[in-house]
Amino acid sequence: MTDIKQINEMIERESSFVQLLTMEMEKVIVGQHHMVDSLLIGLLSKGHILLEGVPGLAKTLAINTLASCINAGFSRIQFTPDLLPADLVGTMIYNQKTGDFVVRKGPLFSNFILADEINRAPAKVQSALLEAMQEKQVTIGDQTFKLQEPFLVMATQNPVEQEGTYPLPEAQVDRFMLKVVISYPKKDEETKIIRQNLGGTFPTANAIMSPADIIRAREVVQQVYMDEKIEKYIVDIVFASRYPADSGLAKLKDLISFGGSPRASISLAKAAKAYAFIKRRGYVIPEDVRAVCNDVLRHRIGLTYEAEAENVTSEEIIADILNTVEVP
Amino acid sequence: MMRFKVQGSKFKVAALGVLLLYSVSASAQSIRSAIDSTQLLIGDQFHLDLWADIPAGSMVAWPQFKDTLIKTIEVVEATVPDTVRKENGDYTVHQRLVLTSFDTGFMVIPPVAFVFDRDTANPLLTDPELILVTEIPVDLEQDIMDIKGPMDVPINWRKYLLYGLIALVVIGLLVGGFLYWQKHRKQRDAPAARPVPTRPAHEIALEKLEALRLKKLWQSDRAKEYYIELSDIVREYIEFRFGIMALEQTTDETVRSLQITGVDTELLKTLSGMMQLADLAKFAKYRPMSDENEKSMDVARGFVENTRAIEGKPDSGNKSDSN
């Protein structure tokens, strides 16, 4: 096993781009530091992100800027009720000259995908996207194509409108590593946004990295050291969401219909490692786990009708769990 | 108006229920009947009373009534025949029938037959009665009237008071039961509280620190265990001394919480350094130097001694007394 000192030095060296990337993104995106951090966590830990927020909070701009910074491909797909799976993955079209069917790849063949308003498309289209996210490959006709690396899907959901939407089933929401809830910018940030937009020349992000750099960074993130006590802490948190009464949280028993899956534990560990990397540390500490806990668990904890009637949110449940589970 | 009739004629009684009365007297038998009204409105009820004087030693087969006397006269109710014994041993039996009719016109109440001493060939019959049933007079000159409204029932305050009291008791029981359930549920749901020590927190912490020192963990290449125990002792002390949930908080959170309690800044800085070193040893495989290990113990001991509670004051939730 590599010595922790070496890992730390390597992380110090390899994570230096994080600050540069963040600064480049901040040239375009005002505020929304949490969203930018979450994008990086998803990018570095091969996880996909579900963003929830009202329109106009720079969701599209953020992922577009990230793609520009990394010099990678970007596709935006607006999900609508009449969208078909072939509109995402591509299809076979007939070439009259050659008399053959040729593959026409869909917008999924890109590095960064923005699936805008994913809950507007019917289940078969959602399934096609989620399958591609999971398998990292797409089959068109009789040919299977590997998707490009890095491959990051950022799907958005509008929490306000519910009519004419197809809410993602729990099993499919679980495929997203993080669910990030975006709020409005602060007053001073909004003032800056107005000035930026009225200034005539909108700032653009420069390409400072290549997709190969990200792939290498991902390998480094995997080497971030996670002690068994941190692993136990993660398991304790996830188990407390499943069996709250066993963790001294009997009051949550009637509020939780189902807790985090093993995929939640995996995601929590991966995200905590990526967060430690962003913070330029070669090892994970409990702060890292707590920092990503909300984004990893909020869509993986099912609420009962009683919880909904009492206006209890999954964030409150997570806060209760974190305040009860002993930190190592 | 009530009229009485006495009749001695005979009639054959076939399918009647039998009420047998015996007597040893030889007095004359007689029957009587009376109605209380001969003119009535449709649906009105009226009474037909029947009497039979029975000498001692005689018996009578009392007539039985079904739900109608004749097709147009209904029997609403028939009382149980009432027997009254006279001084000479004779009997008088009386029965009242409540009758009504829902038809109009003249109607005849047929004679009622009484059979004495099983002489079915010569029953005694009551006189037939003629009654007139009329409709409610309607004035055709007037317009059709609307349906009559509901009648006002006089308010019975006593009854309402009783209902009110019953309702109050029921509501009280429900509210009491709900509150009891809530309290019981809260108690049941409350997380198991950590046992509060009976001795001052600093005494326990100093004892544990001394015990840890004597274990010589870092000297035997078990620095990780040493720092796990050291940080646990300090966090437990902070929890009981300051009422901060340090065991459920990270190092940064604990330090931030201690800042609010007003612990001396320098003291907090050294403690923070020690806790961060402990985190490195616990989570990053870091092996501190010997002097760092000794210094960490001194920092922990110094923090406990400098923030110990003043005697007589409770530990938990107090601000630092070192300031």
b/e burial code for range A163-194 (CB count within 10 A of at least 16 → b): eebbebeeebbbbbbbbbbbeebeeeeeeebe
Q: Supply the ipTM of this predicted assembly.
A: 0.72
b/e burial code for range A29-52 (CB count within 10 A of at least 16 → b): bbbbeebbbbbbbbbbbbbbbbbb
Q: Where is pLDDT greater, at A265 or A201? A: A265
- Within this chain, do residues A64 and A203 fall inside the same structural domain, yes or no? yes
- Within this chain, do residues A158 and A258 fall inside the same structural domain, yes or no? no
CB atoms B191 and A249 under 8 Å: yes
CB atoms A250 and B188 under 8 Å: yes
Q: What share of chain A is helix, strand, coil (3-state, %, to 5)?
A: 50, 15, 35
- Within this chain, do residues A276 and A316 fall inside the same structural domain, yes or no? yes
pLDDT at position B32:
92
Largest distance between two CA atoms of chain A: 72
Helices (H), A199-261: 211-222, 228-242
pLDDT at position B25:
40
Which tokens in the block code for residue A317?
């449940």
Does A322 lie at the interface with B, CB-CB under 8 angstroms? yes
Last residue of a domain, one of A215, A244, A263: A215
Q: Which of B229, B252, B285 best probes binding to A when mutated, by most A CB atoms within 10 angstroms? A: B285
> Which contacts of B68-76 are long-range, i.e. CB under 8 A and separated by 24 or more positions?
B69/B97, B69/B99, B69/B109, B69/B110, B70/B107, B70/B108, B70/B109, B70/B110, B72/B101, B72/B102, B72/B103, B72/B107, B73/B99, B73/B100, B73/B101, B73/B107, B73/B109, B74/B99, B74/B100, B74/B101, B74/B102, B75/B99, B76/B45, B76/B100
For A189-211, what is the mean pLDDT? Answer: 82
- Within this chain, do residues A205 and A268 fall inside the same structural domain, yes or no? no
Cα–Cα distance list, B148 to A127, B135, B151 (Å):
70, 18, 8
Residue A125 has pLDDT above 90, yes or no: no
Query: In what order do the strands lie in the sheet containing B124-125?
Result: B60-61, B113-116, B124-125
Does B291 lie at the interface with A, CB-CB under 8 angstroms? no
CA triple B29-B31-B36, angle to 5 deg: 160
- Contacts of residue A199, defined as CB under 8 A and 6 or more positions apart, other chains included, come to none
Residues of A in contact with B249 (CB under 8 A): 327
For A1-11, what is the mean pLDDT? Answer: 71
> What is the rounded CA–CA span in Å between residue A131 and residue A125?
10
> pLDDT tens, A54-73?
778 888 788 888 888 888 88
pLDDT at position B183:
79
Tell me which chain B residue has its CA closest to the CA of residue A327: B248
Total CB pairs under 8 A between chain A and B: 59
CB atoms A225 and B249 under 8 Å: no
Q: Where are the domains of chain B?
A: 5-134, 201-306
- Within this chain, do residues A176 and A265 fall inside the same structural domain, yes or no? no
> What is the rounded CA–CA span in Å between residue A182 and residue A165?
20
To the nearest whole number, what is the mean pLDDT of chain A?
85
What percent of chain A clears pLDDT 90, i.e. is strictly above it? 14
- Within this chain, do residues A31 and A99 fall inside the same structural domain, yes or no? yes
Q: Which parts of chain B have pLDDT scores under 50?
A: 1-26, 317-323
CB atoms B248 and A287 under 8 Å: no
Task: Identify the residue whose tokens are 């990051």.
Answer: A152
Which tokens in the block code for residue B262?
């007003």
| CATH number, position A311 | 1.10.8.80
pLDDT at position B188:
58
Cα–Cα distance list, B92 to B27, B127, B229 (Å):
12, 19, 109
Residues of B in contact with A325 (CB under 8 A): 248
- Bridge partners, residue B109, by sequence: B129
CB atoms A326 and B247 under 8 Å: yes
b/e burial code for range B51-64 (CB count within 10 A of at least 16 → b): bbbbbbebbbbbbe
Q: How many helices (H) and strands (E) does chain B have?
A: 6, 13
- Within this chain, do residues A209 and A231 fall inside the same structural domain, yes or no? no
Give yes or no for a contact between B309 and B205, defined as CB atoms under 8 angstroms apart. Answer: no
pLDDT at position B101:
94
- Within this chain, do residues A241 and A153 fall inside the same structural domain, yes or no? no
Helix axis angle for A4-14 and A16-28, nearest 10°, is 30
Does A324 lie at the interface with B, CB-CB under 8 angstroms? yes
Q: Helix/strand/coil (H, E, C) string of B92-124?
A: EEEEEEEEEECCCEEEEECCCEEEECCCCCCCE
> pLDDT tens, A299-315?
989 888 988 888 888 88
> pLDDT tens, B50-91?
999 999 888 889 999 999 999 999 999 999 999 999 888 898
pLDDT at position A201:
73
Task: Identify the residue whose tokens are 């004035």.
Answer: B139
Nearest CB partner across the interface for A248, out of B192, B247, B285:
B192
Last residue of a domain, one of A171, A188, A215: A215
* H or E element in which residue A166 lies: none
What percent of chain A clears pLDDT 70, i.e. is strictly above it? 97
pLDDT at position B27:
56
Q: Mean pLDDT check: name the lowest of A202-216, A254-268, B160-174.
A: A202-216
- Within this chain, do residues A75 and A183 fall inside the same structural domain, yes or no? yes
> What is the rounded CA–CA span in Å between residue A44 and residue A134?
16
What backbone phi and psi angles, to 5 degrees, belong to A176? -80, 130
Number of domains in chain A: 2
- Within this chain, do residues A86 and A210 fall inside the same structural domain, yes or no? yes
- Within this chain, do residues A24 and A161 fall inside the same structural domain, yes or no? yes
- Within this chain, do residues A147 and A239 fall inside the same structural domain, yes or no? no
Q: What residue numbers bound the domain in which A171 lies?
A: 4-215
Give yes or no for a contact between B234 and B268, defined as CB atoms under 8 angstroms apart. Answer: no
Q: Is A246 exposed, middle or buried (0-12, 13-18, 19+ CB in 10 A)?
A: exposed
- Contacts of residue B11, defined as CB under 8 A and 6 or more positions apart, other chains included, come to B111, B113, B122, B123, B124, B125
Which tokens in the block code for residue A272?
């905590």
Task: Identify the residue whose tokens are 């110090």.
Answer: A12
Tell me which chain A residue has its CA closest to the CA of residue B244: A323
Cα–Cα distance list, B264 to B233, B246, B259 (Å):
20, 18, 8
Looking at domain B5-134, does it have CATH number 2.60.40.10?
yes
> What is the rounded CA–CA span in Å between residue A325 and residue A269?
16
Q: Mean pLDDT check: name the lowest of A111-115, A237-241, B68-72, B101-105.
A: A111-115
Sign for the pseudo-dihedral over CA of B274, A280, A53, A268: negative
pLDDT at position B75:
95
> What is the rounded CA–CA span in Å between residue A244 and residue A253?
6
pLDDT at position B53:
92
pLDDT at position A306:
87
